[in-house]
Structure 1
Amino acid sequence: VDAWFEEDEEVFVHPRDPQVRIDTLQSSAHIQVVLAGVVLADSHRPLVLVETNHPVRYYLPPDDCRLDLLAFSPRTTRCPYKGTASYWSAVIDGTIRENVAWTYRNPIPEIPRIKDLIAFYPEAVDAILRDGEKLA
């Protein structure tokens, strides 16, 4: 089977649970992402994504990220609630840290606001700061 459909809509990974909710909220919180002592992202305009049973994620505009230190990874994954994710690796002083961030180039129609924004894995970087406070 190459694709799975509910009615005429393609299903990614598995059918969506009607009890799961995803909200995106524009924020002016100051978000910084630090890896190996280098600030990879610094934004005052994150999109906050809140998803049932998941940690809050901060999606940042590419203009607020150090794209000169990020390179696309060959890794992709699929999410039934957001679509197909593409990944970024960080390259700092010649050292590659694989898959530290992800983006949705073509999210599913229900979540268009995250298109092309970049989110970082807290466990893959040294710190994600919100208004100067390190997130858990």
Structure 2
Amino acid sequence: MRRPVADPVAPGQESVWAYPRPPAIEKVDARVTIEFGGTRIVDTTDVVRVLETSHPPVYYLPIAAFADGALVPAEGSSFCEFKGTARYLDVRGGDALAAGAAWNYPRPSRGYELLTDRVAVYAQPMDRCTVDGEVVVPQPGGFYGGWVTSWVVGPFKGVPGSSGW
């Protein structure tokens, strides 16, 4: 399968096709909020994002920034050739529970140490996730955890037909 053609980039935007592989990791100056079960479970400016070719950014937030009881250890794990072994977490907010809706790397691989004690959350099951006040759109496909905002253009991994990218 051929690599797709990148969408046009307007001023102030970035293309996921300019992101590297292996992924880059960077601290960003942004405010991230997550609401779930009618409750704000996180509001932080201590934000790290991971940028990987064809994927919208994945935002990692400090575990300590989450409301008490919002993150609960869950079954399962997975392995990323770059970041290491991930564990899954259930997310709680109000009376709501989203099973396996978050993950982190307890002992990230060399080069990804900024992920220590940080968590990423799938946007789809949450009530609302924002970056600097903009409501994010979940990365297509259900497996990937990127957050799409107006300043990131694709096409994004996860759309139908993208499994070979």
Query: TM-score range, shorter-chain basis?
Result: 0.7 to 0.9
Structure 1 partner of 2:132:
131
Q: Which aligned runs of 4 or more in structure 1 are off by greater than 6 angstroms?
A: none
Partner SS state of residue 110, structure 1: coil
> How many pairs align?
118
Unaligned runs of 5+ residues in structure 1 are 1-18
String of CA shifts for 1:31-73, please: whole Å, max 9, x gaps: 0011122112111110111111222011111121124222010
Question: In 1, Cα distance between the equivalents of 2:50 and 2:100?
Answer: 19
List runs of 5+ in structure 2 lacking aligned partners: 1-19, 138-165
Q: Provide the secondary structure at the position in 2 that maps to 1:128.
A: strand
* Contact in 1 for aligned 2:32/2:132 (Cα 8 Å): yes
Instruction: Please identify which structure carries the higher strand content.
Output: 1
Instruction: For 1:22-33, list aligned pairs within 5 A.
Output: 22-33=23-34
Aligned to 1:40: 41
The offset of 1:75, in angstroms, is 1.5
Aligned-pair identity (%): 25
In the alignment, the residues of structure 2 paired with residue 21 and residue 39 of structure 1 have an alpha-carbon distance, to the nearest angstrom, of: 33
**CA 43–108 in structure 1, closer or farther in 2 if over 3 Å, else same:** same
Tell me, what secondary structure is at the counterpart of 2:69?
helix
